[in-house]
Amino acid sequence: MGEKMLMKGNEAIGEAAIRAGCRFYFGYPITPQSELTAYMAKKLLKMKDAAFVQAESEIAAISMVYGAAATGARAMTSSSGPGISLKQEGISYLACAELPCVIVNIQRGGPGLGSIQPGQADYFQATKGGGHGDYHLIVLAPSSVQELVDLTMDAFDLADKYTNPAMILGDGLIGQMMEAVEFKERKKIDLPDKEGWILTGCKGREKKYIVPFNLDPYEMEKINLKIQEKYKKIIEKEIRYEAINLDNADLIVVAYGTVARIVKTVIDNAKKEGINIGLIRPITLFPFPEKIIAETSEKINKVLVVEMSYGQMLEDVKLAANGKAEINFYGRAGGVVPTQFEILTEIKKYLT
Amino acid sequence: MKKVFGSPKSLTKVPFTYCPGCHHGIAHRLIAEVLDEFGVREKTVGVCPVGCSVFAYVFFDCDMICAAHGRAPAVATGMKRAKPDSIIFTYQGDGDLASIGTAEIVHTANRGENITVIFINNAIYGMTGGQMAPTTLIGQVTQTSPYGRDPKTMGYPIKVAEMLSTLKGVAYISRVALSKPAYILKAKKAIRKAFQSQIEGKGFSLVEILSTCPTNWGLSPIEANKWLEENMIPYYPLGEFKTPEEVS
Amino acid sequence: MLERIIISGFGGQGIMLMGRLLAYAGMLEGKNVAWMPSYGPEMRGGTANCTVLISSKEIGSPIVSHPKILIAMNQPSLDKFEPNVSENGLIILNDSLIEREVNRDDVSVIRIPADDIADKLGNSRAANMVVLGACVKKSKVVKMETIFKALEKTLAGRNQDLINLNKEALKQGAELVED
Ligand SMILES: Cc1ncc(C[n+]2csc(CCOP(=O)(O)OP(=O)(O)O)c2C)c(N)n1
Ligand code: SF4
Ligand SMILES: [Mg+2]
């Protein structure tokens, strides 16, 4: 077991990435994730066979990731709201070309320039594709600094395993917060060999190429079907969630990330008032934990979705519940974080 | 009786919220004085960038719009094309203009858009807490050049005024500073010429203003002025790089 | 046990370091801890504050609306947070920069002439440690020795004189309050 360290979320992501073998970081400053960019500068500029580049823009940064990933290297970029929007072009290319990489979004209030306080309104963008075309990222939603560390490492493995970009969807609160973290010894897992597709020069072999297009629609459809096949596998194998107190709950809250940890405090306080609240916290947002939501909502029938948005994950919860439960919603956005008191008041509305 | 200098009509009465010793405030005042002197306040629209001066809309008492980071010249193009008799200026930092917005500034200049650009070169990203800008000097320590800017991996500081003055569509470009009264007088003249060139329909004009960011340079206001004069001016020479006479 | 602390002052007073030391010490004592800063451009020249949570259980919400302990290093901080301190809570204030009385009568108040003591120690920037020393002694959120350890870890590699000065400031602050 490693030693416990007190680390800021943003810096913990950087350390986790480096420990996961990421040696190439391309980014552009933006609040509230700039400490991650600074951390990577501090570390990678001193390492051999590594690179840190402050790109001229987020559009350039994601394409630098595309380039580095094409050589087989573990590469990462990070940003928030406006910068993540600019990365969408490159993300769509990465998904189509089936290149692994990790993209970190420390969400802030939107839309537009928005605010720099925490938000969760990039859920649609993260989980439904975000750029043009039919594709998905593997989306992981940490709710503590320790989980930022663990999921960042997992993200690199998952990206390599499925040759697909993975996204860490955090927010300004966990990015800025310091908590104790431990960098645990991880067991080695078998990952597919990259030799088949990486571009390193064709000495002694046939040339290879990476081209995210095909002008023949039937061939382009085949590319689509291949990645769709992969998403099916991801949905089958990679769903993760945390479930608390689902038996005998009066109401189930579905929340992720920062909001979910606030809900944990609500659960404790509600218990003192004799109210039994359950929580389903999706850890993977794509693939989404539909089954547990379907089963639980059928049993308990009262569900409250809480988000720092005006109802984005709500749509996935409704789809999962498929009309079998009453689905209610509470959200604050623009950078406002809902308090435990507001959430409890909201819960009580549905219990009378 | 002491003579009281009134504040320009083109500024609101809201006190500047920039850090002590920051040049953004002086630059705002000079622009406002020029707008007053030309009597164009009521037909002017300013385009704020994303950077510390995103708050310029609070301080200028003319119509203002905030563009996405780096895109101010494109927004200005749209406005000027749609309403050619208006006076349009953008106000942009070095990250905004010379990093993320490089494509926009080059092509707006190259098209000779009849707008005025005020370019605040403070060799750093102020708003986001002190990262390297494209104009950061060699060896300068910032959050993203923690061991000093190394041209081998981070390139050289971009000389925007010189670079853009090679473009045919450009009418007027100069570089000025604000670190002492004599410089401020010259800066005011340059800003006048830039707006004059727009009023006369001569095409794209830009004034690059070397500015301080005491907060992120980690210097006092006085030290910052000194640092600017000793380090920035030698690399970024002051003067006019292109004047309307040269426009054929 | 769940300790909820807000520390507030102006930029440059070492507000963030005070919070980090408390959190670090909490961690060294085997507790769960969270530290959350205010962030963004409002920080420059303006006010800075941070929240510290120390708990024997998993920390849920890291947001503190009603602190049990408020450390106010200047007047605007007291104005802003005084009304939110929970009943029977504790307000520790920097008497050198705050003239007014505390309005609440349902909380304990300790006034520490932190800047004056720090000046006498020869470094006005140690005012934060004077107040922190008083806070730790009075509230016992962590042990004094652990704060010393946290200080040494956090400032590791810095000048030993600076560490000693900060320790002295912590001690002098602690001496001003009774157990
Ligand atoms: C697309 C996008 N990327 C990044 C940011 C974050 N950001 C805000 S201001 C800024 C840089 C400001 O620096 P500069 O343009 O030099 O202006 P200054 O603050 O120094 O005046 C950045 C990177 C953003 N708002 N939008
Ligand atoms: S951070 Fe720098 S550029 Fe921004 S207001 Fe302060 S001194 Fe000016
Ligand atoms: Mg700048």
Count the residues in chain B. 248
The answer to whether the Cβ–Cβ distance between A176 and C62 falls below 8 Å is no
**CATH value at residue C47:** 3.40.920.10
Residue B219 contacts C where some CB pair is shorter than 8 Å: no
Number of structural domains found in chain B: 1
Within chain A, which residues score under 70 in pLDDT? 1-2
Residues in CB range of C12: below 8 A, 6 or more apart: none
**B104 within 8 A of B95, measured Cβ to Cβ:** no
Residue range of the domain that includes A290:
241-351
The answer to whether the Cβ–Cβ distance between B146 and A29 falls below 8 Å is no
Backbone phi and psi for residue B166, each to the nearest 5 degrees, phi listed first = -80, -10
**A18 within 8 A of A43, measured Cβ to Cβ:** yes
Q: Can you tell me the mean pLDDT for B85-106?
A: 98
Distance CA A59, CA C21 (A): 39
Q: Degrees (nearest 5) of the Cα angle A254, A257, A258?
A: 105
Query: What confidence score (pLDDT) does residue A3 get?
Result: 85
Residue B41 lies in a domain: yes
Interstrand relation of A138-140 and A165-171 (parallel, antiparallel or unpaired): parallel
Q: Degrees (nearest 5) of the Cα angle C115, C116, C122?
A: 85
Give the closest residue (by CA) to ligand 1 atom 3: A83
Strand partners, B47: B65, B90
Ligand 1 contacts (CB < 6 A) are A 28-30, 58, 82-83, 86, 113; B 50-53, 69, 93-96, 120, 122, 124-128, 133
Structure tokens at A302: 């009262």
Distance CA A135, CA A221 (A): 13
Query: What confidence score (pLDDT) does residue B47 get?
Result: 98
Instruction: Find the radius of gyration of the CA atoms of chain A.
Output: 20
Distance CA A224, CA A205 (A): 28
Query: Which pTM value belongs to this model?
Result: 0.96
**CATH value at residue A104:** 3.40.50.970
Q: Does any ligand 2 atom lie closer than 6 A to the CB of residue B224? A: no
If we measure between CA atoms, which residue out of A2, A11, A32, A262 comes closest to residue A143?
A: A262
Q: Which ligand is nearest to the CA of A61?
A: 1
Helices (H) and strands (E) in chain A, counts: 12, 14
**Domain termination site, one of A214, A237, A260:** A237
In chain C, which residues have their Cβ closer than 8 Å to the Cβ of B215? Answer: 44-45
In chain A, which residues have their Cβ closer than 8 Å to the Cβ of C40? Answer: 31-32, 116-117
Structure tokens at C61: 């919400």
Count the residues in chain C. 179
Closest chain A residue to the Cα of C26, Cα to Cα: A180
Q: Which position has the token pair 């907060």?
A: B215
- One domain for residues A31 and A73: yes
Q: What is the mean pLDDT of each run of 10 residues along chain C (179 residues)?
A: 95 94 98 93 72 97 96 96 97 97 96 96 95 97 97 89 94 92
Tell me the three state secondary structure of residue B178: coil
pLDDT band (50, 70, 90) for residue B247: very low
Interstrand relation of B204-210 and B170-177 (parallel, antiparallel or unpaired): parallel
Distance CA A55, CA C113 (A): 48
**CATH value at residue B58:** 3.40.50.970
Number of structural domains found in chain C: 1
If we measure between CA atoms, which residue out of A284, A11, A20 comes closest to residue A143?
A: A284
HEC per residue, A254-298: ECCHHHHHHHHHHHHHHHHCCCCEEEEEECEEECCCHHHHHHHHH
**Amino acid identity at B189:** K
Residue C12 contacts B where some CB pair is shorter than 8 Å: no
**C66 within 8 A of C85, measured Cβ to Cβ:** yes
Q: Can you tell me the mean pLDDT for B136-154?
A: 98
In chain A, which residues have their Cβ closer than 8 Å to the Cβ of C32? Answer: 179-180
Residue B71 lies in a domain: yes
Residue C44 contacts B where some CB pair is shorter than 8 Å: yes
Instruction: Find the radius of gyration of the CA atoms of chain B.
Output: 17
Residue B18 lies in a domain: no
Peptide bond into A287 cis (omega under 30): yes
**Domain termination site, one of A208, A237, A266:** A237
Q: Tell me the nearest-neighbour CA distance from B7 into chain A, angstroms.
A: 31
Distance CA B246, CA B244 (A): 5
Q: Can you tell me the mean pLDDT for B58-75?
A: 98
Q: Which position has the token pair 């004069």?
A: B229
Residue B8 lies in a domain: no
**Amino acid identity at B75:** V
Query: What confidence score (pLDDT) does residue C159 get?
Result: 85
| Distance (Å) of CA C86 to CA A286, C6, C47, C108, C134 | 41, 12, 22, 11, 20
Query: What confidence score (pLDDT) does residue B245 get?
Result: 72
Distance CA B18, CA B10 (A): 18
**pLDDT score of B248 more than 50:** no
Give the closest residue (by CA) to ligand 1 atom 7: A30
Residue among A34, A41, A45 whose CB faces B128 most closely:
A34
If we measure between CA atoms, which residue out of A178, A175, A11 comes closest to residue A108?
A: A175
- One domain for residues A287 and A192: no
**B198 within 8 A of B205, measured Cβ to Cβ:** yes
Instruction: Find the radius of gyration of the CA atoms of chain C.
Output: 15
Structure tokens at B117: 């650009």
Strand partners, A253: A279, A304
Query: What confidence score (pLDDT) does residue A78 get?
Result: 98
| Distance (Å) of CA B31 to CA A178, B38, B126 | 44, 11, 21
If we measure between CA atoms, which residue out of B24, B51, B29 comes closest to residue B212?
A: B24
Tell me the three state secondary structure of residue A13: helix
- How close is the Cα of B217 to the center of ligand 3, in Å? 11
**A281 within 8 A of A256, measured Cβ to Cβ:** yes
**B169 within 8 A of B202, measured Cβ to Cβ:** no
If we measure between CA atoms, which residue out of A82, B101, A109, A100 comes closest to residue A91?
A: A100
Distance CA B150, CA B138 (A): 6
Burial of C92 (0-12, 13-18, 19+ CB in 10 A): buried
Strand extents, DSSP E, B123-194? 170-177
Sign of CA dihedral B22, A79, A46, A145: positive
- One domain for residues A58 and A169: yes
Helix axes A9-19, A34-44, angle to 10 degrees: 40
pLDDT band (50, 70, 90) for residue B3: very low
Count the residues in chain A. 352
Residue range of the domain that includes C55:
2-175
Residue range of the domain that includes B133:
24-242
Helix (H) or strand (E) holding A7: strand A5-8
Tell me the three state secondary structure of residue A226: helix
Question: Across the beta sheet with C32-37, what order do the strands follow?
Answer: A5-8, A178-181, C32-37, C47-55, C2-10, C69-72, C90-94, C108-112
In chain A, which residues have their Cβ closer than 8 Å to the Cβ of C23? Answer: 6, 178
Distance CA A246, CA A299 (A): 10
Burial A199-213 (b: 16+ CB within 10 A, else e): eeeeeeeeeeebeee
Nearest atom of ligand 1 to the alpha carbon of B94? 16
**pLDDT score of B4 more than 60:** no
Structure tokens at B245: 């006479």
- How close is the Cα of B132 to the center of ligand 1, in Å? 11
pLDDT band (50, 70, 90) for residue B6: confident
Q: Tell me the nearest-neighbour CA distance from B147 into chain A, angstroms.
A: 8
**pLDDT score of B118 more than 60:** yes
Query: What confidence score (pLDDT) does residue B48 get?
Result: 97
DSSP for B82-95? H-TTSEEEEEEEHH
Query: What confidence score (pLDDT) does residue C60 get?
Result: 96
Tell me the three state secondary structure of residue C13: coil
The answer to whether the Cβ–Cβ distance between C44 and B127 falls below 8 Å is no
Q: Degrees (nearest 5) of the Cα angle A71, A72, A78?
A: 95
Number of structural domains found in chain A: 2
In chain B, which residues have their Cβ closer than 8 Å to the Cβ of A50? Answer: none
Strand partners, A25: A52, A76
**B203 within 8 A of B46, measured Cβ to Cβ:** no
Chain-centroid distance of CA A178 in Å reads 19
Structure tokens at B244: 């309307």
| Distance (Å) of CA B72 to CA A284, B47, B188 | 38, 6, 22
Residue among C33, C36, C60 whose CB faces A180 most closely:
C33
Q: Tell me the nearest-neighbour CA distance from B226 into chain A, angstroms.
A: 27
- One domain for residues A207 and A130: yes
* CB atoms inside a 10 Å sphere around CB C119: 14
